Amino acid sequence: MQLDHSKIERKWQEYWKEKGLFRTADKPKRKFYNLVMFAYPSGDIHMGHCKNYVIGDVYARYLMRKGYNVLHPFGWDAFGLPAENQAIKMGVHPETWTLDNIRTSDESLKLLGISYDWDREIITCLPDYYKWTQWMFLLLYERRLAYKKEAYVNWCPGCQTVLANEQVIDGICYRSNCRAFIEKRKLNQWFFRITEYADRLIEGLDRLDHWSENVKTMQRNWIGKSVGCNIVFTVLDHDIRLEVFTTRPDTIYGVTFMSIAPEHPAVDALIKGTSFEPAVRRYVKDAMKRTERERVEKTKDGVDTGCYAVNPINGDKVPIFVADYVLPEYGSGVVMGVPAHDGRDFQFAGQYGLPIRVVINPPGAQLDAGSMNEAYEEPGVMVDSGQFSGLDSVSGAEAVTRQLAERGLGGPSVNYRLKDWLISRQRYWGAPIPIIYCENCGMVPVPAADLPVLLPENITDFVPKGRSPLAAVDSFINTVCPNCGEKAKRDPDTMDTFVCSSWYFMRYLDPHNDREFCAREKADQWLPIDQYIGGGSEHATGHLIYFRFFTKVLHDAGYLSLDEPAVDLFNLGMVLKNGEVMSKSKGNAVPVRNFIDKHGADVARLTILFAAPPEREMEWSDEGVTGAERFVQRMYRLVSENQCVINGERPDQISGENEDLYIKINQTIAKVTGDLESFKYNTAIAALWELMNALYGTRERDSVFGYGIYTMIHMLSPFAPHLADELWSMVGGKGSLVEQPWLEYDKRYAESKIKTIVVQVNGRVRSHIEISGSLAEEEVKKLALEDERLRRYLEGKVVRKTVYVRDKIFNLVVE
RNA sequence: GCCGAGAUGGCGGAACUGGGAGACGCGGCGGACUCAAAAUCCGCAGUGCUGAAAGGCGCGUGGGGGUUCAACUCCCCCUCUCGGCACCA
């Protein structure tokens, strides 16, 4: 009796669809927003992608059966470079390629039986979606959170576009097919002022109790808040003020030089016309050529400007250097050099023979500048610091800051590592930036009524040339000014795809609305996301910050009442094969369709679920498939051979042989239910397997046995829904188990009647006592002392102490 | 360097709040069925020593210490693996 998986899978998928079981009603009573991170459509999906979808689906199906009104949507993050690169390589239009991929992948997801509400599918590259992405841009523009500025930005020579900070990894382009070294270029680009939300993005993390510490810590580090002080140094014989940011104003007396970034605008004025000019210019030119990576790896060097800065606290005159270890975009691009108490300054001073002046001593010790071989960076006691000497460095820092503020030479300041989000891209396949440049009126936002600014389709040359391909499309670029009606030009750039994904979770709530991105009423009904199931921590410092930022902006603008999008975040581990992340480009992908043709969707699902706990990485192995396949066949056989004893009634007379089985059944329901709620799907399946083994081992095929199979069928439904529904109909069930409430267990039989007390001597297991009911310590002790097996351990020994954990363990401590 | 996660049989992995380590599966071995094989079913199994056998005695959760009647679990030190950040003043 073999199971024809393709037949039953098709049958039940059709039934679910016809009955609209996964279409979400719009007036949710017990709502649950279960969101799986949407995906980039890069060809057909493979088993590596499926893990996310299957895990999200198990949870969704369980919640539906628990009576929740579950919103479980899916969509596609469809803009982006791969489509465009494909267009260049194969001559296909990016839209064609993308939509083809989506069609194929949708079919595969349907073959897997994922319970998405397909009516809500969103595709970010379609005008009815990106219209609202553009609307979001305008909202940020209006609120002065989108702005254009000339700045040194990350330029990827491979992709021929600028990138956000978050997209540069170790000085290299984040795209796995590119990996080019990033260059710095000074360009005029659009930014989102995410730094304005830096503090709130940090504070909000404290309210996200259900997010993993891991992701929260990564976000805190990424935002990188530093509390310190600004200090103004004047330059001798120049009308220049150099402002520095430091977290250690307590080391101000230890300043023996200043370093200024090569990009700093003051460099020019410092050296103009002096004998130092040629050397400095040469240094600056070389520095600008270096990538960030090269700068980090080379030794700390610099060049003297011949100028001197004046220490505002003690009037010391110190030389000013240009040095490329100073980051132009952090703080003010100038640092005060304190070699005794900063590792980098120590190295730099060593290189140029600059004096080292100790101004902080470790508690109870004294440093000697001459014998130091590294900087002392810890807090301590201030010395050689004028009126501040003797203060501990923490309160000293405050005192110095206070005095600077009083004299108008500085004051408290906060700096962030986080930088504003650069969102312009010089590429075609993205949402056009809705801005028009008019000779009379300047920069003019496209009026909301004119949205969307459509991406022109009549374009064939996608080869990047350092500017957006849209710049060459006259019909797109040339327009009229919405203000004055004169000829004007559109912005040729498109937006970073991460803008599209920053708000997608709201579009699902109202996907067909053509007047708003989402009706307020629906947002209020459905948000927040109750469970966000994400594809790993690679999004921690990108998407997962951006979508929080957008939520806060929309909150402030009055469109949302909440300001954190997701209550609970679950990070899944990736799927590996042969030790590497499964992906098409690595050639180790297991295609979904082939797999389903051969083994079926339920086997695919069980293989993924059983192999490892969801949060952990899993190594794909064909052996796991064997197990899942065997499970399905055994289950099918169990039901088909015993159909007559299964009636779904909970037996009320439990006695005799099958009482233990009945207890096992109830324990399994409790275990599986608990595991479903905490994403422990591997152990849930193990529990089902145990119950199946128990059923196979049962001789008396009575009503308890029948009920055991019945509950197995029920509990199988989130994991292997097609098989479960088929078995359900075989035993006379109506419709799908999705329509049935989840099982409750019989509390009277949740515990074994017979318990085993483990008897230990000095912590080693030496015997067991079987009991029914419960025993007091005295009784156990009596039984233990009479126990034959214990005699040899107790003979000639004195019982010094006993420990009893009721009905569980009894330990005799003897000597 | 900093932050985070992890290390358990041949393999994937289990173990509640400190209470019988190794559930469940894969692979392996033995048996049944079969002319035979596959499939299926039943059984065995961490490891060393000992015993004809039932069994007995040790050792065992990356390494070393500690707390405890009792430690995979708690504390201290160390090693390795993975992920993130990294000249952030």
- Distance B18 C1' – A780 CA (angstroms): 22
Q: Is strand B less than 7 A from the beta carbon of A557?
A: no
Least confident range of A168-172, A518-522, A807-811? A168-172
A217: phi then psi, degrees, rounded to nearest 5: -65, -40
Range A683-698 average pLDDT: 93
Region of A80 (left: φ > 0; alpha: ψ -120 to 50; beta: rest) is left
C-alpha closest to that of A49 among A577, A713, A753 = A577
pLDDT at A729: 95
Q: Quickly state the pLDDT bin for A513 (edges 50, 70, 90).
A: very high
Amino acid A361 CA to nucleotide B77 C1' distance, rounded Å: 28
Q: Kindly determine whether the C-beta of residue A806 is less than 7 Å away from any atom of nucleic acid strand B.
A: no
Answer whether any strand B atom is within 7 A of the Cβ of A626: yes
Copy the structure tokens of residue A322: 């240009």
Task: Give chain A residues 648-687 with Cβ within 7 A of strand B.
Answer: 680, 682-683, 685-686
Lookup: nucleotide whose C1' is closest to A224 CA: B88
Residue A311: predicted pLDDT: 96
ipTM above 0.90, yes or no: yes
Distance CA A680 to C1' B30 in A = 35
Q: Copy the structure tokens of residue A757.
A: 């007390």
Closest to A738 (Cα-Cα) out of A717, A760, A711? A717
Give CA separation, A167 vs A158, A164, A175, A766, in Å: 13, 5, 8, 61
- Residues 225-244/A with CB within 7 Å of nucleic chain B are 226, 228, 244
> How many Å from the CA of A769 to C1' of B51?
27
Res A322: pLDDT: 95
Residues A671 and A686 sit within 8 Å (Cβ to Cβ): no
Please say whether the beta carbons of A115 and A61 come within 8 A.
yes
Residue A224 CB lies within 7 Å of the nucleic strand B: yes
Task: Average the pLDDT over A82-93 and give the result.
Answer: 87
Q: Is the pLDDT of residue A148 over 80?
A: yes
What local confidence, expressed as pLDDT, does residue A384 receive? Answer: 94
pLDDT in tens, A592-638: 999 999 999 999 999 999 999 998 888 888 888 999 999 999 999 99
* Least confident segment among A35-39, A76-80, A294-298, A335-339: A294-298
Scanning every strand, the nucleotide with its C1' closest to A687's CA turns out to be: B24
Cis peptide before A328 (omega within 30 of 0): no
Q: Looking at residue A178, what is its pLDDT?
A: 79
Task: Give yes or no for CB of A414 within 7 Å of strand B.
Answer: no
Pairing relation of β-strands A575-577 and A75-76? Answer: unpaired
Closest CA to A85 of A74, A98, A75: A98
Indicate the residue type of A13. Answer: Q
pLDDT at residue A555 above 90? yes
A109-120 confidence digits (pLDDT tens): 999 999 999 999
pLDDT digits (tens, 9 = 90+) for A472-506: 999 999 999 999 999 999 999 999 999 999 999 99
pLDDT at A646: 84
Band of the pLDDT at A667, cuts 50, 70, 90?
very high
A256 in Cβ contact with A276 (< 8 Å): no
Cβ contact A282 with chain B strand, < 7 A: no
Taking only the tens place, the pLDDT of each residue in A212-252 is: 888 888 899 899 998 999 999 999 999 999 999 999 999 99
Confidence at A1, pLDDT banded by 50, 70, 90: low
Residue A576, beta-bridge partner list? A581, A619
Average pLDDT, chain A: 91
Residue A312: pLDDT above 90? Answer: yes
| pLDDT, average across residues A328-346 | 92
Does residue A743 carry a pLDDT above 80? yes
In A 770-789, which Cβ lie closer than 7 Å to strand B?
A: 789
**Residue A508 DSSP SS3:** coil
